Each structure stands twice: as structure tokens, then as C-alpha cells.
């Protein structure tokens, strides 16, 4: 089915502030194929796509469209060629109808007026051609996420796009919505539309793709034809065949069973079914890793433990005492929480390091009557800055203007100033440079040595293996696997999270 090459990127190089992100990458999409793009976090997938769609400029290399060299500098260039990107954060306009969205800014007109008849007909034709479950006149407000995504696709198709780029399209879809999307992808392929499909989910990639390009550490790791796409092989290629202890692809887990139970979660169940019947324990001085794919329900579980969201049923006890589900109560009991969405939930951008570090700790900062002791507050801030090397070390610096790594240190720093019993960190190093990562790992390890129980939620397999003493893997709202006192590899964790049987390991 697949025909001539439609898009080709040759010898692409890109580095950010001297750090190479893409090195000599080749990428080629044929007409009418579904081409999957895979790789671990940080392998360079999204950078490559951003270069192809003109968001980033490339340092070296050349992009060819239907055999001719082209320059793509912005999204408009991209559209002109016939490339459409289906955004993760949907860009449909809810108060408008399906047809209005599809033809936004290009409405067919009759004099000054929009020709709704024509527009709806044109939309209907598109819908019929690709058999989308949509009606041109439905207001988008009343549609689910899955259908909104289809509108985005339709919008791309209405501009005669020959190539659609889908970045984690199923991330926020329900099972049935995803099924619908897969059917439509098949449909599009049979009509000769090419699709670049970026996903972490192996099962989807096996099911859909004609070819698969795997990136590893910014380089081409492999291009696999359909018959070569075998789960074990893909996982091996993504992680790298060299099983090297220091690279963190393999680890012997050790649990100290004599340590007392600190946190006991029993039968925790979500009101909207994002997780069910979750039970586990964390011991004193233990770092428990929670692995699994994005959307597996890990964040929801730890939010419920900390008390941000209330679980429908279940019980959480800390040192044998039942916890009240509220952040305030959790903090007073000795729980710390570092949220996943740092920018929106982690810190107050307008405020200084001092104010951010002190925010949860005013119960332990000295006061003269009602007045906070500025000296004591500043002292705490200085201690935090020193303890975890926050830069700039100016305690009055606004946190909003700092680098991601230092922002995260501020978020973490405030918990280090308290007597913690349990620290929950959700994706602690997302978007953070390598140096800061290592520092954060050693902070977590030190905390554990001092008897704090730590829960680490992370999608970074290397990180999961590196910090965890014990690993639980979640999949679709359930805990599906525990790794304890065994030798574990990234492949085993990945396979468990993907729901792939264990043939990956020998």
C-alpha cells in the first residue's frame, strides 16, 4: 500500500545550549503509511517533530517534501505543504459547530455571509469520505474529547493534508474512543493519507503501524518494518541492548522487611473510576517506586493519599493513625507532596524563594506575637538553599524566573525543613537538567536513610530503577505487578506497564 516517500528528514542535528539532542537523525515517511515514532522520555521524539513542524529551527540537515528540499519555519509553512498536526491540547472552539471549526478562518461565503449550506455540505462530504461519527451542525461543546480530536483531524483533512502528525493521541481517550480513533486511522491509511504516530503505548503501535522508527539518546536506533515489530525487540531497542548497571537499565532490588510499616493504604477506590481497590504499604526508610504509563492512575492515587482529592472508599493510615483526607491535615501529620504539574501546582511564581520555602512551614517558624520572625524565615530559606544548592542563592529571587531544576528544588526544599514521615514526589525530574536530577536523587536517598518513607511516581524508567527499593507498576487504574527483592530491568517494568507478557525477558 505504501508508496513513494512523502516526507524525509536527513542528517538532522540539533542541540540546546551545547547539549546535543538530535544527532544525525534520519526519518522518512512514505505515502499512505502509518509510521510510528517511539523512544524513551528524552530520546528526541518531540524535538524531531517540532523541527518538522517549524517550531524549532534545526542546526544542520535537510527536510524534503515529496523529494524536493523545503524550509519549514512556522506552522503556516507546514499547512501549505499539507502537513497537519493534531495538537495534544485541543485547539477546537467549543461554542462553534463541527463545520464552523473545520472551516474556521476559511468559511465559504456568499457575499458577506457565511454559506452554511455549502459549508455543512462540504463538511458532510469529508465526514462521509472518512466515515467519522460526527454531524456538521453539532455544537462542539456537547462533544467528548475523542470527537473533538476527530474534528482536529477533519480540519487537517479539509486542507487536503497528506500527512497527519498525532502526538500521543490516545492519552486522554477512553478505551472506546481509542478504538474509534484506530478505526479511523485505518480508514485514512486506506485513502492514502500518511500518519506519524507518536505513542508510548506499544500495543497501539503493534496494532497500527506499518513501520516504526525508534530513537534512543537523540540517534536513530532502528527503523523496523511491520513484520519486525515484535514487543521484545522494540523494548530492547528502545532501552539499548547493552545491559549496563551504571546506565541504570538493570537493578537488584532490596527491601528491608524488618522496618516498620509507615504508610498503609487499604482498598483505595476513586469516585470516577480512575483507580480501583488500591492497597499497598510503605515502610520506614523505604523508597517505593510507582511505575506505569502516563494515565495509569498513579498521580490520582497519590493525590488521594495526600488528600487533595477525596477517594470514594478505602483507608489510609500513617504510623497506625487514620489520616484525614486534607492537605493541611496531611502536612501536620508529617506528609510532604511534590506535585506533577510544577508550574501550576508546585510554587507561587511571583513570590521569592523564602516565601515559597516557608509557605508550608509557618507552624514551625518563630513568631513574636502575631508577627513572623523575618530572621527565622530567612534563616529557613538560607538553610534550604544551602541544603539543596538552589541557584541563584539569593533568597529574595522570584521563583517564577528560575530554571525548572531550581524551581523543583524550591518545591522540594520546603518539605526538607519539616520533620517528615512520608514524602510523595510525582515526576520529580520532568523537564530538569541532568545535574539537578542527580542532586534530587541524592536528596531522596538521604531522606530515606534518615527514616522517611518515600513514594516516587515516575515515567522515567531509568529514574524508577535508580531510586526505588521496591517497585509497584500500575496499569489502567490497577496495581498489576510488584517487583521486590528481585533483579529488575527496564524492559520488565515497561512490559508490565504495557500489559505485555513477559517474553521480553529471557
Return the residues of window 301-320 that contact other proteins according to CB under 8 A.
306, 308
- Residue carrying the nine cell digits 491540547: 89
Residues in 411-430 at the binding interface with other proteins, rule: CB under 8 A: 414
Cis geometry, peptide bond prior to residue 155 (ω within 30 degrees of 0): no
The torsion defined by the Cα of 375, 381, 385 and 386, in degrees rounded to 10, comes to 50
Cα 445-293-413 angle, rounded to 5 deg = 30
**Using the rule CB under 8 A, is 359 a contact of other proteins?**
yes
34, 347, 353, 447: which one binds other proteins (CB under 8 A): 347
**Using the rule CB under 8 A, is 61 a contact of other proteins?**
no
Residues in 191-250 at the binding interface with other proteins, rule: CB under 8 A: none
**Using the rule CB under 8 A, is 362 a contact of other proteins?**
yes
363 CB neighbour count, 10 Å cutoff:
9
Shortest reach from residue 179's CB to other proteins, in Å: 8
**Using the rule CB under 8 A, is 358 a contact of other proteins?**
yes
**Using the rule CB under 8 A, is 406 a contact of other proteins?**
no
- Is the separation of the CB atoms in 471 and 291 below 8 Å? yes
Which residues does residue 34 pair with via DSSP β-bridges, in sequence order? 195
23, 28, 56, 61: which one binds other proteins (CB under 8 A): 56
Comparing CB distances to other proteins, the nearer of 93 and 486 is 93
- Is the separation of the CB atoms in 492 and 483 below 8 Å? yes
- How far apart (Å, rounded) are the C-alpha atoms in residues 346 and 338? 7
- Residue carrying the nine cell digits 524566573: 401
Looking at residue 478, the DSSP 8-state letter turns out to be: E
Cα 40-443-430 angle, rounded to 5 deg = 30
**Using the rule CB under 8 A, is 146 a contact of other proteins?**
yes
- How far apart (Å, rounded) are the C-alpha atoms in residues 237 and 234? 5
Q: How far is CA 249 from CA 46, 290, 297, 422, 448, in A?
A: 23, 17, 24, 27, 22
Comparing CB distances to other proteins, the nearer of 230 and 434 is 434
Element (H, E) at 355: helix 353-358
Secondary structure of residue 504 in the 3-state scheme: helix
Shortest reach from residue 401's CB to other proteins, in Å: 9
Mark 174-193 with x for binding to other proteins (rule: CB under 8 A) and - for no binding. Answer: xxxx--x-------------
Shortest reach from residue 462's CB to other proteins, in Å: 19
Comparing CB distances to other proteins, the nearer of 3 and 133 is 133
- How far apart (Å, rounded) are the C-alpha atoms in residues 411 and 346? 6
Nearest-10 crossing angle of helices 145-158, 175-190: 20
- How far apart (Å, rounded) are the C-alpha atoms in residues 252 and 262? 23
Shortest reach from residue 446's CB to other proteins, in Å: 23
**Using the rule CB under 8 A, is 3 a contact of other proteins?**
no
Choose the binding region for other proteins from 86-94, 257-265, 279-287, 417-425 (rule: CB under 8 A).
86-94
Q: How many residues bind other proteins, per CB under 8 A?
A: 73
**Using the rule CB under 8 A, is 160 a contact of other proteins?**
no
Comparing CB distances to other proteins, the nearer of 352 and 462 is 352
**Using the rule CB under 8 A, is 159 a contact of other proteins?**
no
**Using the rule CB under 8 A, is 346 a contact of other proteins?**
yes
Mark 103-142 with x for binding to other proteins (rule: CB under 8 A) and - for no binding. Answer: -xx-x-x--xxx-x----------------x-----x-xx
Choose the binding region for other proteins from 23-31, 288-296, 331-339, 437-445 (rule: CB under 8 A).
331-339
327, 418, 451, 480: which one binds other proteins (CB under 8 A): 327
Which residues does residue 109 pair with via DSSP β-bridges, in sequence order? 114
Amino acid at each position: 500500500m505504501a508508496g513513494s516517500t512523502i516526507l524525509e528528514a536527513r542528517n538532522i542535528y540539533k542541540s540546546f545550549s551545547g547539549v546535543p539532542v538530535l544527532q544525525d537523525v534520519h526519518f522518512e515517511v512514505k505515502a499512505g503509511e502509518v509510521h510510528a515514532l517511539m523512544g524513551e522520555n528524552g530520546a528526541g521524539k518531540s524535538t524531531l517533530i517540532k523541527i518538522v513542524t517549524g517550531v524549532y529551527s534545526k542546526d544542520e540537515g535537510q527536510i524534503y517534501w515529496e523529494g524536493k528540499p523545503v524550509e519549514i519555519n512556522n506552522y503556516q509553512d507546514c499547512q501549505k505543504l499539507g502537513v497537519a498536526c493534531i495538537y495534544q491540547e485541543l485547539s477546537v472552539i467549543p461554542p462553534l459547530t463541527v463545520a464552523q471549526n473545520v472551516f474556521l478562518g476559511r468559511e465559504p461565503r456568499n457575499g458577506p455571509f457565511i454559506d452554511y449550506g455549502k459549508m455543512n455540505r462540504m463538511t458532510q462530504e469529508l465526514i462521509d469520505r472518512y466515515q467519522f461519527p460526527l454531524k456538521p451542525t453539532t455544537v462542539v461543546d456537547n462533544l467528548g474529547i475523542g470527537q473533538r480530536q476527530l474534528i482536529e483531524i477533519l480540519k487537517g483533512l479539509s486542507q487536503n493534508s497528506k500527512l497527519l502528525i498525532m502526538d500521543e493521541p490516545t492519552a486522554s481517550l477512553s478505551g472506546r474512543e481509542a478504538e474509534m480513533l484506530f478505526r479511523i486511522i485505518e480508514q485514512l491509511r486506506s485513502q492514502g493519507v500518511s500518519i506519524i504516530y507518536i505513542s508510548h503505548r506499544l500495543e497501539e503501535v503493534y496494532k497500527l503501524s506499518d513501520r516504526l522508527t525508534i530513537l534512543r539518546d537523540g540517534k536513530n536506533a532502528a527503523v523496523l518494518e511491520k513484520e519486525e515489530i515484535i514487543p521484545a525487540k522494540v523494548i530492547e531497542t528502545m532501552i539499548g541492548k547493552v545491559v549496563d548497571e551504571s546506565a541504570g537499565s538493570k537493578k537488584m532490588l532490596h527491601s528491608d522487611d524488618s522496618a516498620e510499616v509507615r504508610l498503609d493504604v487499604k482498598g483505595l477506590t476513586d469516585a470516577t473510576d480512575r483507580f480501583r481497590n488500591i492497597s499497598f504499604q510503605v515502610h520506614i526508610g523505604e523508597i517505593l517506586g510507582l511505575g506505569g504509563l502516563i494515565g495509569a492512575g498513579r498521580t490520582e492515587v497519590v493525590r488521594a493519599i495526600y488528600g487533595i482529592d477525596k477517594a470514594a472508599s478505602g483507608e489510609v493510615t500513617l504510623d497506625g493513625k487514620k489520616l484525614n483526607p486534607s492537605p493541611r491535615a496531611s502536612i501536620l501529620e508529617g506528609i510532604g507532596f511534590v506535585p506533577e504539574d510544577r508550574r501550576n501546582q508546585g510554587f507561587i511564581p511571583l513570590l521569592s524563594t523564602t516565601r515559597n520555602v516557608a509557605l508550608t512551614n509557618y507552624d514551625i517558624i518563630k513568631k513574636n506575637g502575631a508577627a513572623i520572625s523575618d530572621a527565622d524565615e530567612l534563616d529557613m530559606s538560607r538553610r534550604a538553599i544551602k541544603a539543596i544548592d538552589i541557584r541563584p542563592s539569593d533568597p529574595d529571587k522570584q521563583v517564577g524566573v528560575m530554571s525548572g531544576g531550581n524551581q523543583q528544588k524550591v518545591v522540594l526544599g520546603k518539605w526538607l525543613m519539616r520533620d517528615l514521615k512520608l514524602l510523595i514526589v510525582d515526576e520529580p525530574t520532568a523537564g530538569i537538567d541532568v545535574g539537578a536530577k542527580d542532586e534530587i536523587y541524592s536528596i531522596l536517598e538521604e531522606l530515606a536513610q534518615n527514616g522517611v518513607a518515600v513514594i516516587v511516581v515516575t515515567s522515567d524508567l531509568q529514574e524508577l530503577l535508580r531510586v526505588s527499593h521496591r517497585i509497584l507498576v500500575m496499569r489502567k487504574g490497577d496495581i498489576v505487578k510488584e517487583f521486590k527483592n528481585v533483579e529488575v530491568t527496564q524492559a520488565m517494568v515497561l512490559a508490565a506497564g504495557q500489559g505485555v507478557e513477559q517474553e521480553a525477558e529471557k
